[in-house]
Amino acid sequence: MTPQPVTTPHVSAPAPTIATREPTTGSVDGKTNPKPPASPTPKGPDWWLMMKAFFKQGKRIASFAPSSRFMARKILDGINWETAKHIVELGAGTGPITAEMVKRAKPHTKLVVIELDPTLCGRLRDRFRETPNVDVVLGDATKFGELLTERGIPQVDHVLSGLPLPSFPAVARDTILETAARTLTPDGTFRQLTIMPLIYYKLYRRYFENVRFRFVPFNLPPGGVYVCRGYRGSPAN
Ligand SMILES: C[S@@+](CC[C@H](N)C(=O)[O-])C[C@H]1O[C@@H](n2cnc3c(N)ncnc32)[C@H](O)[C@@H]1O
């Protein structure tokens, strides 16, 4: 495979460095009642919200449509729901992957779902407000270590990312992958979706010993999932 540039017209946004936090819906301890959404509840179907967000701030959103259910199923493939206690989703958008997780998650599996865009976060809060094991966080994925600490979560079983990670500044990408490596259980995986099949295989191989790619033809556009294990450290070190 030939090395590919890491910046493309589709995905090129720098990761914002600020963390915007508001009260969450649901609770990872399952004890508190869902709170009313702090961001206004957006109107319109998911594809419309994604398309609007894409045209407004394309680089950071990276995709003009939510992931298909085929993509969502593929990113979750092989997760052991009997044993999984904590799963983090970074860049959840309107929640197509969250929705598939909710179908599979046992009551003991807590899902921490992080999204930076307030409108998309509003959709997530509205959609999962009655789901006690989903904790929707309006925040920056580069801060997800702190967000987990605040919630008393030392370890997670899997990190699922919908972020346009290849186009993040290297420092932000390193932070996210280091945090994932530090918090994952020994059998845990970092799973990254893409709408550019295999293009970034080499990039993820720089960070992980073991990278498997799963192609997803039924997605708009076709894409896939990288399933990564065995963090090697930042390529910069
Ligand atoms: C390609 S979309 C994926 C959305 C959703 N996971 C899906 O599969 O349809 C990328 C998402 O990452 C979010 N995002 C981008 N940068 C982020 C950051 N630093 N922290 C949290 N979310 C971020 C965007 O707002 C957008 O919703």
- pLDDT averaged over 10-residue windows placed end to end, the chain, 237 residues: 37 36 41 50 84 77 86 98 98 97 97 96 96 97 98 98 95 97 97 95 97 97 97 89
Residue nearest to atom 9 of ligand 1 (CA): 66
* H or E segment to which residue 55 belongs: helix 46-61
Q: For residue 47, what pLDDT is reported?
A: 83
Residue nearest to atom 27 of ligand 1 (CA): 93
Q: For residue 48, what pLDDT is reported?
A: 81
With beta carbons less than 8 A apart as the criterion, state whether 84 and 158 touch: yes
Q: For residue 236, what pLDDT is reported?
A: 85
With beta carbons less than 8 A apart as the criterion, state whether 24 and 33 touch: no
Q: Determine the Cα–Cα distance for residues 207 and 187; give it in Å rounded to an integer.
A: 17
* Domain ranges within the chain, ordered by starting residue: 39-230
Q: Is 176 in the pocket of ligand 1 (CB under 6 A)?
A: no
**pTM for this one?**
0.85
Q: For residue 56, what pLDDT is reported?
A: 80
Q: Determine the Cα–Cα distance for residues 223 and 217; give it in Å rounded to an integer.
A: 6
With beta carbons less than 8 A apart as the criterion, state whether 124 and 96 touch: no
**CA of residue 140 to ligand 1 center, whole Å:** 10
For residue 121, which of 159, 160, 94, 151 has the smallest C-alpha distance? 94
Q: For residue 176, what pLDDT is reported?
A: 98
**CA of residue 90 to ligand 1 center, whole Å:** 7
193 CA: nearest ligand 1 atom: 8
Q: Is 110 in the pocket of ligand 1 (CB under 6 A)?
A: no
Q: Exposed, middle or buried by CB within 10 Å (0-12, 13-18, 19+), for 145?
A: middle
Q: Determine the Cα–Cα distance for residues 61 and 56; give it in Å rounded to an integer.
A: 9
**CA of residue 104 to ligand 1 center, whole Å:** 22
With beta carbons less than 8 A apart as the criterion, state whether 88 and 144 touch: yes
**CA of residue 212 to ligand 1 center, whole Å:** 22
Q: For residue 57, what pLDDT is reported?
A: 77
**CA of residue 89 to ligand 1 center, whole Å:** 10
* Helices 96-104 and 69-76, axial angle in degrees (round to 10): 50
58 phi/psi in degrees, rounded to 5: -40, -45
For residue 91, which of 29, 27, 137, 55 has the smallest C-alpha distance? 137
Q: Which of 60, 119, 147 should be mutated for ligand 1, with most atoms under 8 A from CB?
A: 60
With beta carbons less than 8 A apart as the criterion, state whether 97 and 69 touch: no
With beta carbons less than 8 A apart as the criterion, state whether 222 and 70 touch: no
Amino acid at 82: E
Quick one: CATH architecture of 39-230? 3-Layer(aba) Sandwich (3.40)
